[in-house]
Copies of this chain bind each other. A is one copy, B any other.
Amino acid sequence: MKLSEAKTSADSSAASVSDRKAERRLAMIATAARLFARDGYADCEMESVASELGVAKGTLYLYFRSKEELFCACVDQGMRELQETVQQAAQGSIAPFDRISAAIRAYLLFFEQHPEQAELLIQERAFFHDRPKPTYFTYREASRERWRVVWAELLSGGSIRDGLTVDQILDFIGNLVYGTMFTNHFLGRSAGEQHALIMDIFYRGIWSDAQRHTGE
């Protein structure tokens, strides 16, 4: 849908001016995210984004100060959607292990359905690597607090073996899904079957019972 049409249709509704602006902003972000991911930050011209939207380049600068700001808005929007998706998936279950499993599944599926978001995370680091911390990790740490209580419950309930701390577990699973997500993205793999395997090894390890007794 062209922005110009969006404007016309919005006119007929009772949407306020600021609503319409926010709506257009989102449309710009969605298109820009796709093109940034497809062409890369450097090769994606503002002119292209504008023409894809059916507006002139100057219009983009009425909504975003600079190319960089537009890009950051794309990353931020993507991470917010990821967070929401994962949180909603987790809320579908009560049992802690089910919540965890659902969240990880939702995480992997999100990037499978929005591969451009994986690409944007790479682009961000590549072009703005003077920043203290990638946006992804800011969001990861924010959600950490929420998950800490879930794991603490499992730990105190005796479901987790001795010698492991909540932070160690959070680091492990965080790194695992992060690596899995990127590998899936680069090699075009699907997250579906993988998910069960990941949880299986994460919960039970790879050792046989015989090896467990020799190993410790």
Contact = CB atoms under 8 A, between A and B. Distances in A.
A128 to B, nearest CB: 9
Contacts of A216: 204
A187 B133 contact: yes
A206 B172 CA distance: 10
A212 B180 CA distance: 24
Given A133-B186, A178-B179, A204 B126 contact: no
Chain A binding surface, main DSSP class? helix
Copies of this chain, count = 2
A56 interface: no
Interface in A129-178: 129, 133-134, 137, 158-164, 168-169, 171-172, 174-178
Interface of A: 40-42, 97, 119, 122-123, 125-127, 129, 133-134, 137, 158-164, 168-169, 171-172, 174-180, 182-183, 186-187, 194, 197-198, 200-212, 215-216
Given A160-B211, A203-B215, 10 more contacts: A40-B127, A122-B125, A126-B127, A158-B210, A160-B208, A171-B194, A172-B197, A172-B206, A179-B179, A203-B207
